[in-house]
Amino acid sequence: MEEQFILRVPPSVAEQIDRLLSENASSSEDKRLDLSFSEDGRTGTFVIGNEHFPAALLDLPCTVESYKTYDDSVLIKTADIGQMIMVGEEGDPAPDAVEYRHGLTPPMRDARRRRFRRELDLNPELVKRVEKTLQNIMAGGTAENIDILQSGLLYIITSTQSCFYYSLHLLFGFKIQITFHT
Protein backbone atom coordinates (compact mmCIF):
# COMPACT_ATOMS: atom_id res chain seq x y z
CA MET A 1 0.00 0.00 0.00
CA GLU A 2 1.02 3.59 -0.56
CA GLU A 3 1.60 6.26 2.06
CA GLN A 4 -0.86 9.12 1.67
CA PHE A 5 -2.06 12.16 3.56
CA ILE A 6 -4.61 14.89 2.95
CA LEU A 7 -3.46 18.45 2.23
CA ARG A 8 -6.13 20.97 3.25
CA VAL A 9 -5.42 24.52 2.10
CA PRO A 10 -7.37 27.81 2.07
CA PRO A 11 -9.18 28.69 -1.21
CA SER A 12 -6.59 31.32 -2.24
CA VAL A 13 -3.75 28.79 -1.87
CA ALA A 14 -5.78 26.15 -3.72
CA GLU A 15 -6.12 28.51 -6.69
CA GLN A 16 -2.35 29.11 -6.73
CA ILE A 17 -1.61 25.37 -6.59
CA ASP A 18 -4.12 24.72 -9.36
CA ARG A 19 -2.51 27.39 -11.57
CA LEU A 20 0.96 26.01 -10.79
CA LEU A 21 -0.05 22.46 -11.73
CA SER A 22 -1.93 23.48 -14.88
CA GLU A 23 0.93 25.58 -16.30
CA ASN A 24 3.57 23.89 -18.38
CA ALA A 25 6.94 23.23 -16.71
CA SER A 26 8.89 25.98 -18.52
CA SER A 27 6.70 28.84 -17.29
CA SER A 28 6.49 27.65 -13.67
CA GLU A 29 10.22 27.75 -12.91
CA ASP A 30 9.84 30.86 -10.77
CA LYS A 31 7.15 29.22 -8.63
CA ARG A 32 8.30 26.78 -6.01
CA LEU A 33 6.28 24.53 -3.74
CA ASP A 34 7.79 23.43 -0.43
CA LEU A 35 6.63 21.92 2.84
CA SER A 36 8.99 21.80 5.81
CA PHE A 37 8.35 20.81 9.41
CA SER A 38 9.99 21.94 12.63
CA GLU A 39 11.71 19.61 15.09
CA ASP A 40 8.48 18.57 16.79
CA GLY A 41 7.24 17.08 13.49
CA ARG A 42 3.76 18.57 13.92
CA THR A 43 4.11 22.24 12.92
CA GLY A 44 5.80 23.67 9.90
CA THR A 45 5.69 26.03 6.95
CA PHE A 46 4.09 25.62 3.53
CA VAL A 47 5.78 27.76 0.85
CA ILE A 48 4.33 28.54 -2.55
CA GLY A 49 6.30 31.10 -4.55
CA ASN A 50 7.43 33.75 -2.06
CA GLU A 51 4.51 33.31 0.31
CA HIS A 52 4.84 31.38 3.58
CA PHE A 53 1.82 29.77 5.24
CA PRO A 54 1.65 28.05 8.65
CA ALA A 55 1.01 24.30 8.48
CA ALA A 56 0.24 21.62 11.05
CA LEU A 57 0.10 17.83 10.86
CA LEU A 58 -3.14 16.71 12.51
CA ASP A 59 -4.51 13.24 13.24
CA LEU A 60 -7.98 12.57 11.87
CA PRO A 61 -10.63 11.21 14.28
CA CYS A 62 -10.95 8.06 12.16
CA THR A 63 -9.15 6.54 9.20
CA VAL A 64 -10.25 7.28 5.65
CA GLU A 65 -9.78 4.73 2.89
CA SER A 66 -8.34 5.82 -0.44
CA TYR A 67 -9.12 4.02 -3.71
CA LYS A 68 -8.04 4.29 -7.34
CA THR A 69 -9.30 2.75 -10.54
CA TYR A 70 -7.82 1.97 -13.93
CA ASP A 71 -11.01 1.11 -15.82
CA ASP A 72 -13.76 3.10 -14.01
CA SER A 73 -15.40 -0.11 -12.75
CA VAL A 74 -12.98 -1.81 -10.38
CA LEU A 75 -11.76 0.09 -7.33
CA ILE A 76 -8.46 -0.82 -5.73
CA LYS A 77 -7.73 0.25 -2.17
CA THR A 78 -4.45 2.15 -2.05
CA ALA A 79 -4.15 3.42 1.53
CA ASP A 80 -5.67 4.10 4.90
CA ILE A 81 -5.30 7.82 5.59
CA GLY A 82 -5.09 8.87 9.22
CA GLN A 83 -3.42 12.27 9.04
CA MET A 84 -4.01 15.63 7.41
CA ILE A 85 -1.74 18.60 6.80
CA MET A 86 -3.74 21.73 7.56
CA VAL A 87 -2.41 24.91 5.94
CA GLY A 88 -3.67 28.21 7.35
CA GLU A 89 -3.80 31.72 5.95
CA GLU A 90 -0.63 33.79 5.91
CA GLY A 91 -0.07 35.30 9.36
CA ASP A 92 -2.41 32.91 11.18
CA PRO A 93 -0.90 30.84 13.99
CA ALA A 94 -0.61 27.08 13.46
CA PRO A 95 -3.17 24.96 15.37
CA ASP A 96 -1.93 23.71 18.75
CA ALA A 97 -4.03 20.54 18.77
CA VAL A 98 -2.62 17.19 17.72
CA GLU A 99 -5.98 15.78 16.67
CA TYR A 100 -8.50 17.35 14.32
CA ARG A 101 -11.97 17.33 15.92
CA HIS A 102 -13.91 17.05 12.68
CA GLY A 103 -13.89 14.57 9.84
CA LEU A 104 -13.54 15.47 6.19
CA THR A 105 -17.24 15.71 5.31
CA PRO A 106 -20.12 17.68 6.89
CA PRO A 107 -21.72 14.59 8.52
CA MET A 108 -18.48 14.04 10.42
CA ARG A 109 -18.58 17.51 11.99
CA ASP A 110 -17.40 17.26 15.62
CA ALA A 111 -16.99 13.51 15.15
CA ARG A 112 -14.79 13.00 18.18
CA ARG A 113 -17.54 14.18 20.55
CA ARG A 114 -20.59 12.82 18.73
CA ARG A 115 -19.46 9.42 17.44
CA PHE A 116 -16.96 8.09 19.94
CA ARG A 117 -17.63 7.37 23.56
CA ARG A 118 -15.71 9.22 26.23
CA GLU A 119 -12.99 7.47 28.14
CA LEU A 120 -14.25 6.00 31.37
CA ASP A 121 -13.10 7.65 34.58
CA LEU A 122 -11.86 4.62 36.47
CA ASN A 123 -9.89 4.31 39.66
CA PRO A 124 -6.47 2.86 38.64
CA GLU A 125 -6.18 0.98 41.93
CA LEU A 126 -9.54 -0.69 41.32
CA VAL A 127 -8.54 -1.67 37.76
CA LYS A 128 -5.27 -3.22 38.98
CA ARG A 129 -7.10 -5.20 41.67
CA VAL A 130 -9.68 -6.51 39.18
CA GLU A 131 -6.97 -7.40 36.64
CA LYS A 132 -5.05 -9.31 39.31
CA THR A 133 -8.20 -11.20 40.31
CA LEU A 134 -8.99 -12.06 36.68
CA GLN A 135 -5.44 -13.27 36.02
CA ASN A 136 -5.60 -15.39 39.15
CA ILE A 137 -8.92 -16.95 38.04
CA MET A 138 -7.60 -17.61 34.52
CA ALA A 139 -4.48 -19.27 35.97
CA GLY A 140 -6.70 -21.74 37.82
CA GLY A 141 -6.63 -20.00 41.20
CA THR A 142 -9.48 -18.51 43.16
CA ALA A 143 -10.48 -15.01 44.09
CA GLU A 144 -11.39 -13.80 47.54
CA ASN A 145 -15.03 -13.23 48.60
CA ILE A 146 -16.70 -14.65 45.50
CA ASP A 147 -19.72 -16.78 44.69
CA ILE A 148 -19.72 -18.92 41.53
CA LEU A 149 -23.03 -19.81 39.91
CA GLN A 150 -23.10 -22.18 36.94
CA SER A 151 -25.84 -22.03 34.32
CA GLY A 152 -25.08 -24.30 31.36
CA LEU A 153 -22.00 -22.89 29.66
CA LEU A 154 -22.29 -19.54 31.48
CA TYR A 155 -20.37 -19.07 34.71
CA ILE A 156 -21.45 -16.08 36.80
CA ILE A 157 -18.95 -14.91 39.39
CA THR A 158 -20.02 -12.30 41.89
CA SER A 159 -17.78 -10.55 44.39
CA THR A 160 -18.30 -7.99 47.12
CA GLN A 161 -14.90 -6.29 46.72
CA SER A 162 -15.64 -3.50 44.25
CA CYS A 163 -18.07 -2.14 41.67
CA PHE A 164 -17.14 -3.38 38.20
CA TYR A 165 -18.42 -5.61 35.38
CA TYR A 166 -16.32 -7.82 33.15
CA SER A 167 -17.28 -10.21 30.41
CA LEU A 168 -14.55 -12.25 28.79
CA HIS A 169 -14.42 -15.18 26.46
CA LEU A 170 -11.89 -17.85 27.26
CA LEU A 171 -10.24 -20.24 24.87
CA PHE A 172 -12.29 -23.07 26.33
CA GLY A 173 -15.42 -21.87 24.56
CA PHE A 174 -17.53 -20.80 27.52
CA LYS A 175 -18.35 -17.30 28.70
CA ILE A 176 -17.52 -15.89 32.10
CA GLN A 177 -19.32 -12.89 33.50
CA ILE A 178 -17.78 -11.31 36.55
CA THR A 179 -19.73 -8.72 38.51
CA PHE A 180 -18.06 -6.90 41.38
CA HIS A 181 -20.42 -5.17 43.83
CA THR A 182 -19.68 -2.63 46.54
CA atoms within 13 A of residue 80's CA, in its CB half-sphere:
5
- Check residue 22 and give its pLDDT: 83
Highest mean pLDDT: which range of 39-43, 106-110, 126-130 = 39-43
pLDDT in tens, 69-92: 999 999 999 999 989 999 988 878
Q: Can you give the C-alpha Rg of the chain in angstroms?
A: 27
Of the ranges 32-46, 88-102, 154-168, which one carries the lowest mean pLDDT score? 154-168
Q: Please say if the pLDDT value at position 142 is more than 80.
A: no
Give the chain's mean pLDDT: 76
Q: Please say if the pLDDT value at position 152 is more than 60.
A: no
- Check residue 69 and give its pLDDT: 93
pTM of the model: 0.58
